[in-house]
Amino acid sequence: MAIGETITQFITQEQRRVGGTGEFTAILNDTLTACKQISNAVNKGALIGVLGGAGADNVQGEAQKKLDVISNDMMIQANEWGGHLAAMASEEMEDIYPIPDGYPRGKYLLLFDPLDGSSNIDVNISVGTIFSILRCPDGVTNPTMKDFLQPGTRQVCAGYALYGPSTMLVLTTGQGVNGFTLDRNIGEFVLTHPGMRIPEDTREFSINASNSRFWEAPVRRYIDECLAGKTGARGVDFNMRWVASMVAEVHRILTRGGIFMYPKDTKDPKKEGRLRLMYEANPMSFIVEQAGGVASTGRARILDIAPHDIHQRVPVILGSRNEVERVVAYHREAN
Ligand code: AFP
């Protein structure tokens, strides 16, 4: 693994190292193609008329942006033909998407949030694509929703593309985390951030503070201590960031440390959390753990959750080890 090698070289070498058949490499290549197409559309924005609302709500009841729909179509089209997937699931589709008749079916399942943070699109702030790959259960050729309901520990790969000042692709297959930057001149992602590690300590937190009146006591205690800074129990000043785009927040944490929280709250008692387990929390938790960080609901390790629905929501607290463990300890003490 050398800085400057292309992602194609990188994953092909990985495939040889583990004695893979190339199926998984092919899926990744197709997903990368979709990410490059989405990057291009996001980058052109108003020039090609893709900003603004699509005029419909998604399964979550959230207003879809044009680019949500376009990105979802790009992910489907780039991935449905290859012959290595059995089905896909997306934030933008209520039901799973079995590989249509006419294409061969393979042994993997792909889940994705095609454009995370899409409330940021129209204001030209970073957005991203998150994806997770699972194996289809043995013997299943016609998967249903229940075949997707595997805990995050079963992911064979997770990654995200960040469409920011540069387009980056961050990937784990369970052997650490590597970051690649899109070189638009050659159309390839190039290894620029090998072996990404999250510092264990941080003085930077991210939370949507407008929800503070709905937080539980342990979260309120932690944030109050951060806000009190040098004059409080922690004796140090903290900094705060909130982009409202989880991909951007996680990327910042992978780069310089930090803690990100979208905790359980009482804003809408019907919802277990804000973020989606299968295509947001699980892939990001896999990446964060592989980079030496921790990802928890406050009460349980996210990757251990046994899912009951592909669109299920969970509380998320992730990032630098010592701060996440502190918040988890506050939850334990409160219980
Ligand atoms: P959208 O994709 O609907 O914009 O949601 C983004 C997101 O799932 C996640 O990326 C952010 O961290 C979080 O929601 C932002 O939530 P708030 O709107 O409450 O700040």
The three state secondary structure string of 20-70 is: CCCHHHHHHHHHHHHHHHHHHHHHHHHHHCCCCEEEEECCCCCEEEHHHHH
What's the pLDDT at 62? 79
pLDDT band at 3 (very low <50, low <70, confident <90, very high): confident
Whether residue 1 is predicted with pLDDT greater than 80 in this model: the reply is no
223-233 pLDDT per residue, tens: 999 999 999 99
Hey, whose CA ends up nearest to atom 4 of ligand 1?
A: 117
272-328 pLDDT per residue, tens: 999 999 999 999 999 999 999 999 999 999 999 999 999 999 999 999 999 999 999
Whose structure tokens read 């046994």? 306
158-216 pLDDT per residue, tens: 999 999 999 999 999 999 999 999 999 999 999 999 999 999 999 999 999 999 999 99
What's the pLDDT at 98? 97
Domain borders along the chain are 7-193, 204-334
Class of domain 7-193: alpha beta
Query: Ligand 1 atom closest to Cα of 113?
Result: 2
Query: Ligand 1 atom closest to Cα of 91?
Result: 2
127-150 pLDDT per residue, tens: 999 999 999 999 998 999 999 999
What's the pLDDT at 244? 96
Hey, whose CA ends up nearest to atom 6 of ligand 1?
A: 117
Residue of 274, 282, 285 to mutate, ligand 1, most atoms within 8 A of C-beta: 274
Lookup: tokens for 206: 């991210």
Ligand 1 center–CA 119 separation, angstroms: 7
Hey, whose CA ends up nearest to atom 15 of ligand 1?
A: 244
131's enclosing H/E stretch is strand 127-135
Ligand 1 center–CA 71 separation, angstroms: 17
Higher pLDDT, 77 or 1: 77
pTM: 0.96
58-97 pLDDT per residue, tens: 777 778 899 999 999 999 999 999 999 999 999 999 999 9
Q: Cβ distance 39 to 163 under 8 Å? A: yes
Which residues pair with residue 319 across a beta bridge?
259, 294
How many CB atoms are located within 10 Å of the residue 317 CB?
27
Ligand 1 center–CA 32 separation, angstroms: 23
Query: Ligand 1 atom closest to Cα of 249?
Result: 12
Query: Ligand 1 atom closest to Cα of 62?
Result: 3
Could you give the CA distance from residue 20 to residue 112 in angstroms, rounded to a whole number?
Answer: 23
Mean pLDDT of all residues in the chain? 95
Lining ligand 1 with CB less than 6 A are 62, 116-119, 208, 244-246, 262, 274-275
What's the pLDDT at 24? 86
The answer for residues whose C-beta is within 8 angstroms of residue 297's C-beta and 6 or more apart is 264, 273, 305, 314, 315, 316, 317
Lookup: tokens for 111: 């889940």
Residue of 275, 276, 284, 314 to mutate, ligand 1, most atoms within 8 A of C-beta: 275
23-68 pLDDT per residue, tens: 888 999 999 999 999 999 999 999 998 899 888 887 777 788 999 9
What's the pLDDT at 5? 94
Whose structure tokens read 């680019």? 67
Ligand 1 center–CA 39 separation, angstroms: 19
Per CATH, domain 204-334 is 3.40.190.80 = yes
Query: Ligand 1 atom closest to Cα of 276?
Result: 8
Which residues pair with residue 240 across a beta bridge?
205
